[in-house]
Amino acid sequence: MARIQIEGLGKQFGATTAVDAVDLTVEDGEFVALLGPSGCGKTTLLRMLAGLSAPSAGRILLNGTDITHASPKDRDLAMVFQSYALYPHLTVAGNLSYPLRSSRVPRARVAEQVAAVAEQLALTPFLSRRPKELSGGQRQRVAVGRAMVRNPAAFLMDEPLSNLDAKLRTATRTELAALHRRLGATFVYVTHDQVEAMTMASRIVVMDGGRVEQVGTPEEVYDSPASVFVATFLGAPPMNVLPATVTSADGRVRADGDGIRAELWPGQTPPHEVVVGVRPEHLVRRGPDGVDAGILLDARVEAVENLGSEEVAQCRVGDTPVAVRGPRPLRLAVGDQVSLTCSLADLHLFDATTRRRLR
Ligand code: ATP
């Protein structure tokens, strides 16, 4: 069992604040993904959990016990690195048994554990090979297996799939998610890949500049992003965001900008300057009769990309790039001047100053 509480955790590297006052509780058995762009502090946060980096501030509790300054081997947490960190001179069996042998587990028990883990990860045929005689995917499984033999309370994984090619990454994603369900252990998983986070995690922690921007289920962070940063980090293409100014007349509240007109919600009194957000898959071309629009954009189509089953039209509304995504054919052609619309329910609204979600 592993419940990890992180309280006010911070890390300074000289003048650089890598992790800034992070509060987070990972419940027992959860699969939590730390997601964010390069340099946002996710690896540093994970390394502090593993005991590989000393926090500058705050505490880490494992099942209620303060482990902030405990050594890595006393934490009952196993780390899986991006580089796999396998011993090149040892066989797969040697690599798998290493963590047990170094903690003086009886020989017969070591063999039993290694055989069981190899079986679970389909590594039995490769036990006598060395890492250089394995494919990337097999090496990755050995790295996971080496973490599993100790039967740790939690797994800490730092971009474990990033060295795999696209096809293998997809397959391994499914395997890891299944492994998590089977083991029922707590997983904390660092990635900059939103698809990995969305498909495997039960909760996603979106980070930026050392801080937590939002914590939520994949649905929550995608459907109700807490900030412009989260809105534009998730999605392919990401959410369109357009600056607008709020006006109120005749009991109607509107947001107007360059080529954009949005009807807002009655009774709402947003600040003067807002950012209106709409996902590319929610925008459609307005027919000749129009629809009951939440938003109306005057767009010029600049490029159309064929994704196979779908198309993405890259447009411009005033000076702002806006993407439209939908089933092929979208019936938008380069050079078209079109009106784009979406329903009120699909409109997101952010404060232009704080960049936080209003609705
Ligand atoms: P990536 O996805 O590129 O690995 P990340 O989100 O994991 O990025 P970190 O590696 O945690 O980011 O780094 C966070 C910040 O701390 C960055 O600005 C980085 O340059 C800085 N940093 C990390 N480790 C050190 C170090 N040992 N010394 C100085 N600065 C560091």
pLDDT at residue 136 in the model: 85
Determine which helix (DSSP H) or strand (DSSP E) holds 253, and give its type and residue range.
strand 252-257
Residue nearest to atom 19 of ligand 1 (CA): 39
pLDDT at residue 166 in the model: 84
Given a contact cutoff of 8 angstroms between Cβ atoms, the answer to whether 215 and 348 are in contact is no
Per-residue DSSP letter, 329: P
Domain's final residue, options 199, 216, 232: 232
pLDDT at residue 105 in the model: 82
Residue nearest to atom 29 of ligand 1 (CA): 13
- What's at 236, amino acid-wise? A
Determine which helix (DSSP H) or strand (DSSP E) holds 13, and give its type and residue range.
strand 4-13
For residues 72 and 126, membership in a common domain is answered with yes
pLDDT at residue 342 in the model: 87
What are the tokens at 77? Answer: 């947490």
- Would residue 341 count as lying in a domain? yes
| 278 three-class SS | strand
* Distance, CA of 122 to CA of 207 (rounded, Å): 35
Among 13, 45, 56, residue to substitute to test ligand 1 (most atoms within 8 Å of Cβ): 13
Cα(39) to centroid(ligand 1), Å: 5
Rg, C-alpha atoms of the chain: 25
Closest CA to 96 of 43, 46, 151, 50: 151
The whole domain housing 282 covers 237-351
For residues 297 and 333, membership in a common domain is answered with yes
For residues 220 and 248, membership in a common domain is answered with no
Residue nearest to atom 16 of ligand 1 (CA): 18
* Distance, CA of 275 to CA of 352 (rounded, Å): 5
pLDDT at residue 251 in the model: 67
Phi, psi of 210 (to 5 degrees): 80, -5
- Would residue 357 count as lying in a domain? no
Per-residue DSSP letter, 219: H
Q: What lines the ligand 1 site, CB under 6 Å?
A: 13, 16, 18, 36, 38-44, 192
Which residues partner with 22 through β-bridges? 9
Per-residue DSSP letter, 193: -
- Would residue 356 count as lying in a domain? no
Return the ligand 1 atom nearest residue 53 CA: 27
- Would residue 339 count as lying in a domain? yes
Cα(215) to centroid(ligand 1), Å: 21
Return the ligand 1 atom nearest residue 47 CA: 11
Q: How many CB atoms lie within 10 A of CB 113?
A: 20
- Would residue 190 count as lying in a domain? yes
Closest CA to 10 of 50, 52, 56, 68: 56
- Would residue 268 count as lying in a domain? yes
Among 16, 35, 159, residue to substitute to test ligand 1 (most atoms within 8 Å of Cβ): 16
Per-residue DSSP letter, 283: -
Domain's final residue, options 213, 232, 251: 232
Domain's final residue, options 232, 255, 285: 232
- Which CATH number is 322's domain given? 2.40.50.140
C-alpha dihedral (118, 123, 127, 129), degrees to nearest 10? -150
Given a contact cutoff of 8 angstroms between Cβ atoms, the answer to whether 153 and 78 are in contact is no
pLDDT at residue 270 in the model: 67
For residues 228 and 246, membership in a common domain is answered with no
For residues 212 and 276, membership in a common domain is answered with no
Residue keyed to tokens 């990755």: 140
Given a contact cutoff of 8 angstroms between Cβ atoms, the answer to whether 275 and 352 are in contact is yes
pLDDT one digit per residue (tens) for the chain, 359 residues:
899 999 999 999 999 999 999 999 999 999 999 999 999 999 999 999 999 999 999 999 999 999 999 999 889 899 888 777 899 999 999 999 988 887 778 888 899 999 999 998 889 999 999 999 998 888 988 999 998 888 898 999 999 888 788 888 888 888 889 989 988 999 999 999 999 999 999 999 999 999 999 999 999 999 999 999 999 999 999 999 999 998 877 667 778 888 888 887 665 666 789 999 999 999 998 876 655 557 889 999 999 999 999 999 999 999 999 999 999 999 999 999 999 998 888 999 999 999 999 88
Number of structural domains the chain divides into: 2
Cα(42) to centroid(ligand 1), Å: 8
- Which CATH number is 103's domain given? 3.40.50.300
